[in-house]
A and B are shown apart, each in its own frame.
Chain A
Amino acid sequence: MFKHLKQLTSLFAMIAVLFAFTTEAMAKKSKTLKNTQKKGFVRCGVSQGLPGFSNADASGNWTGIDVDVCRAVAAAVLGDANKVKFTPLSAKERFTALTSGEIDVLARNTTWTLSRDADIGLTFVGVNFYDGQGFMVRKSSGITSVDQFKNGISACTNIGTTTELNMRDFFNSRGISYEPVAFEKADEVVAAYDAGRCDTYTTDKSGLAAQRTKMKNPDEHIVLPETISKEPLGPVVRQGDAVWEDIVRWSLNTMIEAEEYGITSANADSMKTSDNPQIKRLVGAEGEMGAAFGLDNEWNLRIIKQVGNYGESYKRNIADTGILPDRGPNQLWTKGGILYVPPAR
């Protein structure tokens, strides 16, 4: 009889543990901020290495404009832009990692589309890079335009991306038969193309420019001029936590608007005494801009001081690294680009 008793107790113990888990699932919403502050770091999903967007150096320091979004959030909610835990994710893993709660912000050059926004429990909070899909070929092939593509061309790309779908639309609409070779990791795609497995490599143009720097001989490859799709890339959060969604959205917006008003990491403190009320709002010297998020009033000042404005981030990560020196559409609306964010007031 004792033997059974022992079995019984262990059984009940297991059941009790299981029910303990359920309480977490049933707790009320909008707790991401609370959890983040309790943990002391922002859990951020990034790419497995895309120069300019999210890339780790030899000592494990992450840099890139996607990384800066996470750093901005950390500066806002924790007061320190370095308190971020980065999780490198493949294109295939990224959404599951976010919906399952493994990460709280996904800043991984992710294209905003209707089905992603509406279907899979995600919310896109904005656009931090306007991109479009292009093709890379070997210079020696003599191809200078997608019009020269012929039947039988093989194209390397990533699985689980909008790229895969755009590629099909493109080749189909032109009536070209092609061989899609789709890998899970970006490095595998680049290696396959570099070895000659594919005639062309297709992904977002910024990605092409960035990956080109990783190839054996970057000069042997060119990115064709045509752009075959719209790819607005932006940070994503889980659906169901409206406050957290707002924090991430306005962290990004703050960086862009700071550039618009000429506030930089260097002059942010001195801007507190500016005559322009909008500038004062952006550095926490006027209004109660943080209260609605449950943050103090200098959350935006910290973003600008620790991470910099959007222009600084772009210059540091994308222009100075030689990936895309020309800002193109990613210029402020006041300077001929399409970066336009709602006013922070």
Chain B
Amino acid sequence: MNNKIKRILPQLLTILFVVLVFGFFTINAQVNMDNRGIDFGFGFLSQEASFDMQFTLLDYDGQDSYLWAYVVALLNTLLVSVLGIIFCTILGVIIGIARLSQNFLIKNSAAWYVEFFRNIPLLLQIFFWYYAALRALPLPENAQPWFGVTYMTIKGYYIPSMIWENLNVFMSCLIAAIVTIIFIRIYAKKIQEKEGKQLPVLYISLALITILPLLSFLIGGVTLDFEMPVLKQLAQTSFIFEGGIALPPELIALVLALSLYTSTFVAECVRAGIQGISKGQKEAAASVGLTPNQILKLVIMPQALRIIIPPTTNQYLNLTKNSSLAAAIAYPDLVLVFAGTALMQTGKAIEIVGITMLTYLSISLAIAALMNWYNKRIEIKEK
């Protein structure tokens, strides 16, 4: 009996404490809001937002509701996060492997890269790219083309846009090619397990993925045109590029800073993962006659990934949360647009900050869940 009380009492007290704290904050907020005549409610979400956004992925106009502004701003946040995650992974893997290189120059350059970008605060790096690097770019009228058809200017990076005809035919061909490749890989694995014969899967895959979409151009009636950015004069000394796609400098600076910064942490995860595999594994693989490439692909990486994934997930989460620094350089992300402009125009501080916090929490939990699932899939299956 005494033991039972000892066990339950601390838990009861904890619950009581949590309830009291929440209750206190709720009551405090309510009393103060009542005193100042502020209403609590989410009705504002359906009101007209009446402000514009610089850069959106979906159609958005000031006549749309605050809810839609929220969705569009959220997509901007997700865009930066996804681009950042892709680039930081590619860079991180390359740098991480480079740090283990036998070549003195490569090894040390990679080490310097990691130490340099990891130890400068992210906000400072964002400022550097936006205010120092991208502000030094030429005005549109002075811009020299990059790769012949793209223009990097102070107002943004202008690239040609694609104009497809019968895009759906092309896409179905592409999907068909991918599905076929998956089946061929499964088949090849079976053959190898059964007969020990290796099929040239890579060459077959490459052939399929080029030939099938190509066929769609030749007989499927698919056409692809490019719309080039063209210089347009707005006033005597004011120019802009029209046509094509314009990537705002705010987006470029943010993705650059986020991926360079986070790639250093990913690189360290990759290095740790590879170094975590005992030397014996590598020597054993070599002794059965695997080539260095095969050793990395078939023996080292599958084991290293188990070490790499969990800490890398953390870095992805950090990158996503850090993307909220966008507000410092006018990139219209969730914090700038929703927790900034929308909060100002409606005055619904508690509601909007609450929604924003919940949103980041959900994004983080979703990424964590996805990576946990992937981690489960590749971890050693014990019976």
Contacts and interface: CB of A to CB of B under 8 A. Distances in A.
A152 B24 contact: no
A172 B131 CA distance: 30
B36 A99 contact: yes
B238 interface: yes
Contacts of A199: 234-235, 238, 240
Contact of A120 (B9, B236, B248, B347): B347
Given A26-B31, A182-B336, A184-B328, A141 B238 contact: yes
A96 B6 CA distance: 46
Given A121-B347, A165-B50, A22 B328 contact: no
Given A142-B235, A148-B235, A152-B242, A119 B36 contact: no
Interface string B128-154: 000100010001000000000000001
Interface in B20-44: 20-21, 24, 27-28, 31-33, 35-39
B223 interface: no
B347 to A, nearest CB: 3
A86 B119 CA distance: 35
B58 interface: no
Given A119-B346, A121-B347, A159-B336, A11 B13 contact: yes
Contacts of B196: none
Nearest to B340: A159
A175 to B, nearest CB: 13
B330 A4 contact: no
Instruction: Give the interface centre of A95, A140, A142, A180 by most chain B CB atoms within 10 Å.
Output: A180
B54 A191 contact: no
A2 interface: no
Bin chain B's interface residue count: 35 or more
A197 B341 contact: no
Interface stretch (A13-21, A276-284, A291-299, A308-316): A13-21
Interface string A166-187: 0110001000001111111000
Given A99-B38, A168-B51, A172-B62, A183 B330 contact: yes
A128 to B, nearest CB: 21
Bin chain A's interface residue count: 35 or more
B327 A179 contact: no
A22 B35 contact: no
B347 A95 contact: yes
B234 A168 contact: no
Interface string A186-212: 001001100111010000000000000
A230 interface: no
B37 A165 contact: no
A159 B341 contact: yes
B135 A197 contact: yes
A143 to B, nearest CB: 5
Contacts of A21: 24, 28
B155 interface: yes
A216 interface: no
Given A138-B237, A142-B237, A159-B336, A182 B54 contact: yes
Interface string B248-279: 11100000000000000000000000000000
A197 B249 contact: yes
Given A150-B234, A152-B242, A182-B341, A11 B17 contact: yes
Contacts of B346: 119-120
A178 B62 CA distance: 13
Contacts of B21: 18
B251 to A, nearest CB: 12
Contact of A164 (B13, B39, B51, B232): B51
A92 B236 contact: no
B286 interface: no
B210 interface: no
A238 interface: yes
Nearest to B38: A121
Contacts of A138: 237-238
B345 interface: yes
A303 interface: no
A120 B348 CA distance: 7
18 contacts: A18-B20, A21-B24, A92-B343, A99-B38, A121-B37, A121-B38, A137-B235, A138-B238, A140-B237, A142-B237, A148-B235, A149-B234, A152-B240, A154-B155, A159-B340, A182-B336, A192-B330, A240-B35
What are the 10 closest A-B residue pairs judged by CB atoms, nearest first? A120-B347, A160-B344, A121-B36, A142-B236, A141-B235, A121-B38, A140-B237, A152-B240, A141-B238, A199-B238
